[in-house]
Amino acid sequence: MSASMDLFDKCRSYQDAKALINTGLYPFFRPIEASTGNTVVTHGTKRVMIGSNNYLGLTHHPKVKEAAKRAIDEYGTGCTGSRFLNGNLTSHEKLEKSLAEFVGKEAALVFATGFLANQGSLSCLIGKNDAIFSDRENHASIIEGTRLAMGETVRYPHNDIDALDKMLTDKRSNYDGVLIVADGVFSMSGEIVDLPGLVKVASKHNCKLYIDDAHSLGVLGDSGRGTGSHFGLTDEIDLIMGTFSKSFASIGGYIAGDADTIHYIKHKARPFMFSAAMPPAAVATVQACLDVVVEEPKIFESLWKNARHMKQEFTRLGFNTLHSQTPIIPVVIGDDMKTFMFTKALYEHGVFATPVVKPAVPDGFALIRTSYMATHTEDDLDYVLSVFEKLGKKYGLI
């Protein structure tokens, strides 16, 4: 190995993004100048937003915005330290109590981001003689948490309960404790996890069960309480994780479970202990969202009406939307470059959508990830469908 190697050589030689920029097809980091939630202004033009996780449209709800403003007046703009030391607010503790009650668990702990909630919880729970069995389509934050964990990680085929059962039959005796980890709603496909199957397998093999409700909170179950509520199996899930950066219009994340486990994570998860606390306005936003989803149940009627309509119409037009069962509706394009071209064409026609290419999806399965909000209007959705129909024909997809 050469002693004269420059650490930053790899940075100078990295040309992938620059090559895409030079083609004029680069679809990332588009600056948003203004937003109403379901529409945004970018490059001076108003576009329908179907690339967001703002499922309930609460980022612009009057009660939510007012709560955030009041919190700044009361606490200022930031906590300037970790919860562990100087950044623990009474509003953090109130939110944790509210969240635990909302998702049906004994206790909850809020983190500065959802990514940190997964990374911190998983890494501190798994000892050297333990293992995580993780769905192959789990979010990157779960993957990073498993990398930091001391024990082994075994990835099982996506949502394949029979395969997981067989793997545990073969390997369970190798470990002290085992944690099965899966997304409640898978973020690329919009597919719901087979929770009843996971519960049976976890019980059969004496495993604990951890569900990431990032895309389920505010979407599935009674008043958006999540995957466990959707299936009536909340008590069978040992740990429920979620994030506030989607339906709950803020930033941050949480882990919820029995009081002893949450107390342990609170004192052992380094990403929690050594990160600054959620800022006051973010905490107040989530608290207000919890109130809104209970007080305004019609918001869920609007969300699911829009989601079902778009799924039905994309299918009628002939697009491949995989196995979506939620407001996340992927539109499979296939080739990576064709997907970038399709995304640019959507943008030029006033539709803001996001492409997903390898390695996030398998080679040949590049897609446009679309997602829908309770606040999308009929005109918004009709316009999106008309653009997709026009471009789908142009690109030979339908």
State which amino acid sits at residue 47: R
What token pair was written down for 158?
């996506």
Give the pLDDT confidence of 12-32 residue by residue, as tens digits.
999 999 999 999 999 999 999
Strands 178-183 and 131-135: parallel
* Statement to judge: residues 272 and 324 lie in one domain: no
State which amino acid sits at residue 251: I
Give the pLDDT confidence of 142-192 residue by residue, as tens digits.
999 999 999 999 999 999 999 999 999 999 999 999 999 999 999 999 999
Give the pLDDT confidence of 84-118 residue by residue, as tens digits.
999 999 999 999 999 999 999 999 999 999 999 99
* Statement to judge: residues 106 and 251 lie in one domain: yes
Which of residues 261, 295, 329 is at a domain's end? 295
DSSP label at residue 166? H
Q: C-alpha 315: how far from its chain's center?
A: 24
Radius of gyration, CA atoms only, the chain: 22
Residue 55 belongs to some domain of the structure: no
Sheet of 45-49: strand order equals 32-35, 39-42, 45-49, 351-352
Q: Is-catalytic flag, 215? A: yes
* Statement to judge: residues 70 and 128 lie in one domain: yes
* Statement to judge: residues 80 and 38 lie in one domain: no
Give residue 202's pLDDT.
Answer: 98
Percent share of the chain, pLDDT over 90: 97
Reported confidence tier of residue 5, pLDDT bands at 50, 70, 90: confident
Which of residues 275, 295, 315 is at a domain's end? 295
Please check the confidence at residue 3 and state whether its pLDDT lies above 70.
Answer: no
Structural domain count of the chain: 2
* Statement to judge: residues 146 and 190 lie in one domain: yes
Q: What is the mean pLDDT of residues 210-222?
A: 98
* Statement to judge: residues 175 and 214 lie in one domain: yes
Of 91, 187, 229, 371, catalytic? 187
* Statement to judge: residues 27 and 70 lie in one domain: no
Residue 356 belongs to some domain of the structure: yes
Please check the confidence at residue 1 and state whether its pLDDT lies above 70.
Answer: no
What CATH number should be reported for the domain holding residue 117? 3.40.640.10
* Statement to judge: residues 280 and 324 lie in one domain: no
Give the pLDDT confidence of 187-207 residue by residue, as tens digits.
999 999 999 999 999 999 999
Residue 81 belongs to some domain of the structure: yes
Reported confidence tier of residue 73, pLDDT bands at 50, 70, 90: very high
pTM for the model stands at: 0.96
Of 92, 215, 311, 376, catalytic? 215
* Statement to judge: residues 106 and 207 lie in one domain: yes
Which of residues 274, 295, 316 is at a domain's end? 295
Give the pLDDT confidence of 262-316 residue by residue, as tens digits.
999 999 999 999 999 999 999 999 999 999 999 999 999 999 999 999 999 999 9
Of 92, 139, 205, 246, catalytic? 246
Residue 132 belongs to some domain of the structure: yes
Residue 261 belongs to some domain of the structure: yes
Identify the three-state secondary structure at position 153.
strand
What CATH number should be reported for the domain holding residue 328? 3.90.1150.10
Q: Is-catalytic flag, 246? A: yes
Give the pLDDT confidence of 369-393 residue by residue, as tens digits.
999 999 999 999 999 999 999 999 9
338, burial (CB in 10 Å: exposed 0-12, middle 13-18, buried 19+) = middle
* Statement to judge: residues 80 and 128 lie in one domain: yes
Residue 3 belongs to some domain of the structure: no
Residue 176 belongs to some domain of the structure: yes
350: containing domain:
12-49+298-394
Give residue 294's pLDDT.
Answer: 94
Give the closest residue to 210 by CA, choosing from 180, 171, 232.
180
Give residue 360's pLDDT.
Answer: 85
* Statement to judge: residues 196 and 126 lie in one domain: yes
* Statement to judge: residues 189 and 309 lie in one domain: no
Residue 96 belongs to some domain of the structure: yes
In whole numbers, what is the pLDDT of the chain averaged over residues?
Answer: 97
